[in-house]
Amino acid sequence: MILQLNGEQVYYGTGSGHWKKDAKSIVFVHGAGFDHSIWVMPARYFARHGFNVIALDLPGHGQSSGALLTSIDAMADWVAQVIGAVADDANAKATVIGHSMGSLIAMNMAGRHKATVKQIALLGTSAPMSVTNLLLDAAKDNHHAAIDMTNTWSHSQRSIMGSSDNPGVSNIHAGERWLERAGESVLYTDLAACNAFDAAELPSVECPALVITGGDDKMTPAQAGIAVAQMLPNAHVANLPSCGHSMLTEQPNQVLDALSGFILS
């Protein structure tokens, strides 16, 4: 779906669903360098289960136009604005689910846009979310090594070898293509925003939260995700053993089970 907001195009996937005025809404926010299509399976699941799905392309990502946003604050403000615009209701409320950088946006929204956020699910998260200079420098130069680092470190050893749950799909090469689709400076801008995120500056988060961790996550190790859950007053953790940071492609069914358990209950 395409929406015009502040003179720019906002693209969001609906999981093949149709907007229903009285239905609950779920917003999916992608990670650094990605777009909405990484959420295809949960988007389709929750659309079928009657939710309004808004799987966003952040500005300058996928099919959304506009300048890249350079801070998690700005991204959170933008997502909150989009929720109101899609629902045509400034008081609209949604569950916000984010992966990696998207988890920081969800967390930020839960603190700074309390009226908009019903609950949050944080996949592959940590706070702070430090990014090594090696990766930042390569990304700043738009060098393919930045994609190689991000992609390789985002997959568990098992996933690098293969044995995808999704028949016939090479997750490691799919991840590479997703990142290659991002425009110039996208990955760097996103990673820099993650690196600068400071959870200590956030107002307290009060809504229910689910933190999904991957046992083999090298980007945001499971311990870091557990630490985030401990910062939140009403959070519980679902750990996916042997799963890397790219949990949406590595263990899509387990992610879906964790999300559906949290949201449908």
**Binding footprint of another protein on the chain (CB under 8 A):** 13, 15-16, 35, 37-38, 40-45, 48, 63, 134, 137-138, 141-149, 152-153, 158, 160-170, 172-174, 177-178, 180-181, 252-253, 256
Alpha-carbon span 129 to 131, nearest angstrom: 6
* Beta strands 235-240; 117-123: pairing state: unpaired
Q: CB of residue 231 vs another protein: minimum separation in angstroms?
A: 31
Query: Are 61 and 182 within 8 A, CB to CB?
Result: yes
The residue length of the chain stands at: 265
Nearer to another protein, 37 or 81 (CB): 37
Q: What is the dihedral of CA 240, 165, 256, 83, to 10 degrees?
A: 110
Q: What gap in Å lies between CA 117 and CA 185, rounded to an integer? A: 30
The CB-of-182 to another protein minimum distance in angstroms stands at 10
CB of 201 to another protein, least distance (A): 31
Identify which of residues 91 and 163 has a Cβ nearer to another protein in the complex. Answer: 163
Q: Which is nearer to another protein, 161 or 200 (CB)?
A: 161
Strand-by-strand arrangement of the 117-123 sheet: 2-5, 8-13, 52-56, 25-29, 94-99, 117-123, 209-214, 235-240
CB of 53 to another protein, least distance (A): 11
Closest CB to another protein among 162 and 203?
A: 162
Q: Which is nearer to another protein, 48 or 236 (CB)?
A: 48
Helix 133-140 × helix 144-153 angle, to 10° = 140
Minimum CB distance to another protein, residue 48 (Å): 6
